[in-house]
Amino acid sequence: MSRVLIVSNRLPIHVRARGSHVEVHASVGGVATGLASVHATGDALWIGWPGETDELDLDGHAELERELARRRLVGVELPGRLVKGFYEGYANGVLWPLFHSMLESLPLSSDDFELYTEANQRFADAIVAHARPGDRIWIHDYQLLLVPALVRAKLPQARIGFFLHIPFPASPIWRVLPQRAELLRGLLGADLVGFHTHDYARHFAAALLHVLGLEVAVDRVRWHDRSVSIGSFPMGIDARGYSAIAEEPEVRDETERLRTGPEKLLVGIDRLDYTKGIPRRLLALQELLDRHVELRGLVRLVQVAVPSRTTVQVYRAMRQTIDELVGRIQGMFATASWVPVHYLHRALSSREVVALYRAADVMLVTPIRDGMNLVAKEFVAARNDEDGVLVLSEFAGAAGELSGALLVNPFDTRAVSDACHRALTMPREERRERMRAMRARVFAADADQWARGFLATLETASERSDMPPAAPGPVPLEGLALAKKRLVLLDYDGTLVPFDIDPLRAEPDQELRELLARLAALPDTEVHLVSGRPPLELERWLAELDVGLHAEHGLWTRPRGAETWSMARGIELQHRRSIERLLADFAERTPGARVEKKSVGYAWHWRAADPDFGERQANELRLVLQALCSNLPVEVLLGNRVVEVRPHGENKGTLATRLMLAASHDTRILALGDDRTDEDLFAALPRDSVRVHVGPGESLAPWSVPDWRAARGLLAEFAASVERTAGAPVEPPSSR
């Protein structure tokens, strides 16, 4: 059985260290609990930073190493300067606010990316030092975004998964980051990149398109010679563990003490962080008491704010804001016998937390942005009495799973206030019905199911690839020359001629005409030009040649020797007028772009546009078209300086299939193409065909040549090889 190497910023322990004395205690909650079952399986290792150990002497360090080894933990040493720059400076000072879409909290400048890179390299080195063939490497969270690619560089065959525990921001926010491309390339070192929700996965896909120009096909993206899978895996909790703690006598006793008196309890338990929405929650309580006088003296909020990153200025300011709001609410509403807020600025034990969960009439989980928020699920798991109401932010990942919660917009304090009032006055049977539905989900999709699901997907993702192995050496033409029959399929623009700002000027020169005529004259050889251009252009330029012509990616065909065109099948583009208006609008906003109307589709060309601006507009247009046409039989393709819109079902691959069916079984195939539309062609051809990609970029084709000049040279070499084999005289094409 293969091992799992879990990699996270922190090991799942707390270390108390001084001199030669070492105390190690297991952490609870979050990632530590979620991955406990995986770590307990086989001889799995957990790699991470053990915490500050500077106060240990040599004996203490040796004792810590022995204790880590006993627990199957591997410590990554991070000196103080690295912790400050990597963790506090870049990971939490830059990435944390950006991933939570809080640009106002970004620093004015940051010089810590080099330290972030250095720390990521240390984690990668530790993985490489301990990995064995067959291991599954599971890397976690925003502190280690570069690690997958760093490991891939040293271990090309490794199975690597990455999971992000916080939100992934929308593409416009991601593009604020100066190191946006480097971090995406780091993540693409993984075989599987996982997120809590489909929204976050969709944002990641949009970032890949906008920043790297990579097209995500449903749940996969091609990167170098690999296929990287993208998926959503909502994290669960140890639901049965929380349920068991809730039944412990000391927890039940503490619950009864909390419930003493007529007060209804609102409870909030959060880390002290600006993403958790605590100030807005307090304002919602103020509004509730202001608007519902009858609740004064009968409702109390118990707000726990666990200290976090106390050395960072923005967190110190956050604490001051909360202190002031609590003081203001107490001053407005408190009486000699009652206070509306019971505020605890400290960490609680797990049993104290579960007692609060059990005692709560209403649980408030109202972050303004959160990856999942496991507090909501812990509350549900602890409610064995099937009572209590969850008021949950719609911006928490858990909102997509907990259908029994009252969902709120945390920025709308009136809405949160109304939800609290509804929760406090909700009939018991409705409360129980809602809680039963949530408990069913939380117990079915627990932490163990989440971990097993991710690792099972990683197992198949690392084995699944649309990319053939790279073919070394020159293009093999000898086998083609010896074949009884040959089929040659050629793209036009970018493959046989260079791109021109004006597509109408890209007519074939004399050298190309002579080369195509030479190819068409080869014995037992059929030549077909397969282009995205309309029929009339191909006919005007190439009608006199004895070759098959195929326009609009194979929709229209003019066979060898024919004088008329035929349509492959009768199809129409739905919502043509709306699509045309959208393309025209983008063309107006992109100087140098133009719209080409085809018989059943459109091409939005941007060859004459500014390269950087045109590429951004093309990517944006493609995203808009995909959203608008998601329920239509319409295909949107991003080609070489062109965005094409066409009906589903007819492409160069379907044309190739028809041509192969018409050919004899002993026919060998040579195909050349340069852009995304030619990938359909390459995918449809058998493995023994010679598929050649023209130009830079990744492709399904095993062989490549640098440009159209090299493509012409290859075809001339192919013609000479066939002529030699057939005993025909060799006549090189004109060099004019």
As annotated, the active-site residues are 491
Q: Is 422 exposed, middle or buried (0-12, 13-18, 19+ CB in 10 A)?
A: middle
| Whole-angstrom distance, CA of residue 628 vs CA of residue 330 | 51
The CA-atom distances, in angstroms, between 375 and each of 140, 236, 243, 379 are: 20, 11, 14, 6
List phi, psi (to 5°) of 123: -65, -45
Please choose, from the candidates 69, 86, 93, the residue with its C-alpha nearest in 3D space to the C-alpha of residue 11: 69
Q: In the numeric block, which tokens belong to residue 165?
A: 């525990």
Place of tokens 């065959």: 157
DSSP string, 365-404: E--SSBS--HHHHHHHHH-TT---EEEEETTBGGGGT-TT
- Is residue 438 within 8 Å of residue 471, measured between CB atoms? no
727: left (phi over 0), alpha (psi -120 to 50) or beta: left
Please choose, from the candidates 361, 372, 426, 439, the residue with its C-alpha nearest in 3D space to the C-alpha of residue 399: 372
Residue 295, C-beta contacts closer than 8 angstroms, at least 6 positions apart: 264, 288, 289, 421, 424
**Which amino acid is located at 657 in the chain?**
T
**Which amino acid is located at 656 in the chain?**
A
Q: What is the DSSP letter of 4?
A: E
Please choose, from the candidates 149, 141, 138, 84, the residue with its C-alpha nearest in 3D space to the C-alpha of residue 111: 84
Q: Is 106 exposed, middle or buried (0-12, 13-18, 19+ CB in 10 A)?
A: middle
* Dihedral sign computed on CA atoms, order 264, 266, 267, 272: negative
First to last CA, the chain: 65
- Is residue 15 within 8 Å of residue 50, measured between CB atoms? yes
Q: What is the DSSP letter of 700?
A: S
Q: In the numeric block, which tokens belong to residue 492?
A: 């036009």
Please choose, from the candidates 415, 425, 344, 355, the residue with its C-alpha nearest in 3D space to the C-alpha of residue 389: 425
Helix (H, G, I), strand (E, B) or coil at 339: coil
| Whole-angstrom distance, CA of residue 358 vs CA of residue 348 | 15
